[in-house]
Structure 1
Amino acid sequence: MDNYKWKVLSTTYVHKSPWATLRSERCEMPDGTIVDDYYVLEYPNWANAVALTTDNKIVLIRQYRHAAGILSLELPGGVIEDGEGRDEGMRRELLEETGYEFNSIELISTVYANPSTAANVTYCYLARGGRKVQEQHLDEHERIEVFEYTIDEVKQLLAENKIPQALHCTGLFYALMKLGEIS
């Protein structure tokens, strides 16, 4: 790995905010080539879950995504808060967005949205034994609808390209493999 890793010579922060930070780095490649102005986006780490209810239905949410201008059918999930463990963050996001609590959660994959320009990671979980225990507790700008689908219905939604979020499709792929629904 050290034969490929770039050495960071300097870092300049172009923009800093809690949700997105942009830095510019000057780097040296292993062969001595200098890379000026390599831009890196820093986002918080994320978690999402393929969330199964006690009757084996998958909980999906639908919300508006402004950057893409779409109404998006997705897995529940979100940002892992500072000082929060990833499992703890996942359980909190599930409860806040859906009102469901789960008997168990299991990390099934760790993926990067775009490791060439973004520094954060997404943890994908399989949650089992979900049941609704409260109403949603949404953030100020969240408007989320909650749905339950059978596994076959979710496979059909994927086949029809009705789940547009790439990281969520990835989580579904890993969960369906883990559940023996695809090989």
Structure 2
Amino acid sequence: MSELSWKTLSSTYIHKGPWATLRSDKCEMPDGTIVDDYYVLEYPNWANAVALTEDNKILMVRQYRHAANIVSLEIPGGVIENGENPEEGMRRELLEETGYQFNDVELISTVYANPSTANNKTFCYLAKGGKKVQDQQLDEHERIIVEEYTIPEVKQLLADNKIAQALHCTGLFYALMKLGEL
């Protein structure tokens, strides 16, 4: 690694759940300093997409987010299931949440939500040429409204701070750069 990396001496699990796991690591810093309790949240990896339809509209989803107590405007995506690669997870989530399939998909960013406390990555794709092929197939606790926006409308939503999910803002900025819109 590098001269900045810590060595994990031991790990103890405090909570293991389906969506989040909390562990406490005992670590040694490069200078020998011991960190007795460094808490790490383990989450599954996530995949999402800036999804453009055949007529160049960006699909966005609106849903309630309980931890923040907000109705959030987001790009579609979710947890990568066991056995899926990130692209498969993203394609499945797009189909379930929006009913759209895409013929042109490209990975545009891999980011960490908060690498100081959480270990998971988010893979963001640019998906183009979307066609509606089915109705939504939502999970038991999902209530999602699909909306379509033009690229100028999405740029204005970002400028007006109307998209609260930081990872989704990041993906949108990467996509807009890739599309030559920034």
TM-score in terms of structure 1 length: 0.98
Q: What per-residue deviation string (whole Å, max 9, x for no partner) do you get for residues 89-111 of structure 1?
A: 00000000000011121100000
Q: d(CA) in 1 for partners of 2:169 and 2:60?
A: 12
SS in 2 for 1:27: strand
Instruction: Report matched runs for 1:127-146 at 5 Å.
Output: 127-146=127-146
Does residue 1:52 correspond to 2:52, yes or no?
yes
Structure 2: which amino acid aligns with 1:150? T
Matches of 2:20 and 2:105 in 1, distance apart?
28
Q: Within 1, Cα distance between the matches of 2:110 and 2:71?
A: 25
1:15 has 2:15 as partner: yes
Partner residue in 1 for 2:124: 124
RMSD: 0.6
SS at structure 2 position matched to 1:82: coil
Give the ranges of 4+ consecutive aligned residues of structure 1 lying more than 2 Å apart after TM superposition: none
How far apart are the structure 2 equivalents of 1:153 and 1:81? 32
Counterpart mapping for 1:1-183 below 5 A: 1-182=1-182
**Which amino acid is 1:145 matched to?**
I
Once the two structures are superposed, residues 115-134 of structure 1 have per-residue CA deviations (whole angstroms, 9 ceiling, x without a partner) of 00000000010000001110
Return the alpha-carbon distance in structure 1 between the equivalents of residues 28 and 9 of structure 2. Answer: 7
Which stretch has the larger CA shift, 2-11 or 66-75?
2-11
Paired with 2:102 and 2:56, the residues of 1 have a C-alpha distance of 12
Summarize deviations over 1:57-102 as a string: whole Å, max 9, x none: 0000000000000000000000000111111100000000000011
Q: Which amino acid aligns with 1:10?
A: S
Identity of aligned residues (%): 80
Q: Distance in 1 between matches of 2:73 and 2:3?
A: 42
**Residue type of the partner of 2:50?**
V
**Number of equivalent positions:** 182
Deviation at 1:44, TM superposition (A): 0.4
Letter in 2 for 1:139: D
- Matching residue's letter, 2:111: V
Work out the CA distance in 2 between the residues paired with 1:77 and 1:32.
41
Separation of aligned partners in 2, 1:126 and 1:132 = 17
Counterpart secondary structure, 1:169:
helix
TM-score, normalised to structure 2, is: 0.99
Give 1:2 deviation, angstroms.
2.7
- 1:142-182 CA distance string (max 9 Å, x none): 00000110000000111111111000000000000000000
Unpaired segments of 5 or more residues in structure 1?
Answer: none
- SS at 1:141's partner residue? coil
| Structure 2: distance between partners of 1:69 and 1:141 | 15
